[in-house]
Structure 1
Amino acid sequence: MIKLLRKIHYACSLFSILFFFILFWPLYYLGTRNARYYSFLNKIRTLHSFLCTAVVGIFFNFNFENKLERNQTYIYCANHTSNLDIIILCLLAKGQYHFMGKEELAKNPVLGIFFKTIDIPVFRESKISAFRAFKKAGENLENGMSLIIFPEGRIDDAYPPVLQEFKNGPFRLAIEKNIPIVPVSIINIWKLMWDDGMKYGTRPGIGNIYVHEPILTTIMGIESADVLKEEVFKKINSKLLHK
């Protein structure tokens, strides 16, 4: 019975996401036509994220170690266990922000419009693709657009999820551009929706997210990238150990 209810909730969740996407599509279309509209575009993404989860009983509790500066450009690094993670970061980030993600997302019926415009797709097996992606991300950071990235690179097959090794890219970029990194521990979202929700279904509930104090990179050299990566990994994992 529980499995059936979770499957029904999963179907309702998909319908909710698609319904609001279709409702907001004219605004998304206009917002992706020119980079000067990206702040407006992100406000619509934030509203979409709140509405499509709230109507199916999924809410989020953000616990901040320290208040983030509203006008500061950040690189947000979060663990990745669910498609809901994208929604969570849309609710967390302010102002101009963009995602970096796998190139398959450009073909996604909902996310495709963003990964062909504001967001950055990357084929992680290609060094050339990764170089171009991080070069573009660096340019966006210089223009005041925060970057959202899941440094594990993908949702792992492990269930319950275990934090996987991080890629190096975002940490080198943070040091090169002197951008603070915000580690984000997405604690129990996998219990509401693991991966895309297809295997185990979904359920309503409250997801807990811990936003760590930003790590400043202004005094770091590029040789400190591995140290920074390890520090971010430990901070994120420190909250995941207490699911």
Structure 2
Amino acid sequence: MKKLLSILYTVWCGMVFVIPFLFFYPFIYICIQNKGWHRFGHKIIRFWSQIFFILTGMIIQKDWKFRPDKSKTYVFVANHFSYLDVAAGMNIVENYFAYVGKSSVSKVPLFGYMFDQLHIAVNRSDKDSRTKTMLRGIRALKNGRSVFIMPEGGIVSKNIPKMAQPFKDGPFIMAIENKVPIVPVSYLNNYELNPSNFFFWGLPKVIINKEISTENRTSKDIEALKKEVYDVIQGDLDKYYGLEKTEYLG
């Protein structure tokens, strides 16, 4: 019975994801055609995300240890154990931001085009792609647009809820280069609600942690910053699951 309910709920989640997207896509497409309208496209996508979580009954439980100023620029970083994380980030973060995500998303019909135009796709196996991604992220921050990155480099952990190590350097270089704060975001149970391709009903829990300043930081501080962010997010996960503290192995 549990498996049947999961299948039915997964079908419902798929419908709630796809049908509103197809309805909103023409408006998103129009916004994509003019860079000055990209911000409006972002707002439409955020509204679509809100509809998804409302209609699926997965109302996100947000623990605000810090409320980002919507007029300021940040680098948001989060653990990444589930496909649900991306939609949750769009729902949680009120700032105008660009996701940095894997280039394979670009192959998805319609959605891929939207992602390519409004966000930043990266092929992590291609050095040139990684360099271009870094430059695009730095440019977005210089233009006052926040960036959201999962520093594990994808859903790669072999020991969930322990994060994969070491973190990628990208988000920390971007933050230091632009002297913008890093905001660690902890997704506590998304992977329980969306393991692989199935959905189970529940309430996603997320912690938006206090900003970490990058003022007076240089490239020599990257490893220290990575450890600081890891300790914050993994500390939240360890506390939630009653696990022992894990040291960051940079």
TM-score normalised by length of structure 2: 0.91
Alignment partner, residue 3 of structure 1: 3
Q: 1:118 deviation in Å?
A: 1.3
C-alpha distance in 1, partners of 2:85/2:235? 18
Q: After the TM superposition, which residues 71-220 of structure 1 pair with which residues of structure 2 at under 5 Å, given as runs?
A: 71-109=71-109, 111-156=111-156, 158=158, 160-165=160-165, 166-195=167-196, 198=197, 201-220=198-217
C-alpha distance in 1, partners of 2:175/2:31? 27
Alignment partner, residue 59 of structure 2: 59
* Matched position secondary structure for 1:22: helix
Question: Quick check: 1:192–1:207 contact (8 Å CA) kept in 2?
Answer: yes
C-alpha distance in 2, partners of 1:153/1:26? 31
1:235 aligns with 2:232: yes
C-alpha distance in 1, partners of 2:175/2:153? 17
Using a 3 Å threshold, how does the CA distance of structure 1 residues 10 and 110 change in structure 2: closer, same or farther? farther
- Quick check: 50-59 or 17-26, which moved more? 50-59
Using a 3 Å threshold, how does the CA distance of structure 1 residues 160 and 228 change in structure 2: closer, same or farther? closer
C-alpha distance in 2, partners of 1:239/1:212? 10
Alignment partner, residue 248 of structure 2: none
Question: Quick check: 1:21–1:110 contact (8 Å CA) kept in 2?
Answer: no
CA RMSD of aligned residues (A): 1.4
C-alpha distance in 1, partners of 2:133/2:190? 28
Using a 3 Å threshold, how does the CA distance of structure 1 residues 53 and 67 change in structure 2: closer, same or farther? closer
Question: Quick check: 2:190–2:204 contact (8 Å CA) kept in 1?
Answer: yes
Identify unmatched segments of 5+ residues in structure 2.
242-250
Identity of aligned pairs, percent? 28
Structure with greater contact order relative to length (CA < 8 Å, sep ≥ 6): 1
Q: 1:159 deviation in Å?
A: 6.3
Question: Quick check: 2:169–2:222 contact (8 Å CA) kept in 1?
Answer: yes
* Matched position secondary structure for 2:183: strand
Report the AA paired with residue 192 of structure 2.
K
C-alpha distance in 2, partners of 1:239/1:157? 17
Q: 1:157 deviation in Å?
A: 5.8
Question: Quick check: 1:187–1:239 contact (8 Å CA) kept in 2?
Answer: yes
Q: Moved runs in structure 1, 4+ residues, more than 4 A?
A: none
Report Cα offsets for 1:185-218 as digits up to 9, x if no partner: 00011111124xx2xx212221110011011101
Q: 1:121 deviation in Å?
A: 0.8
Using a 3 Å threshold, how does the CA distance of structure 1 residues 160 and 2 change in structure 2: closer, same or farther? farther
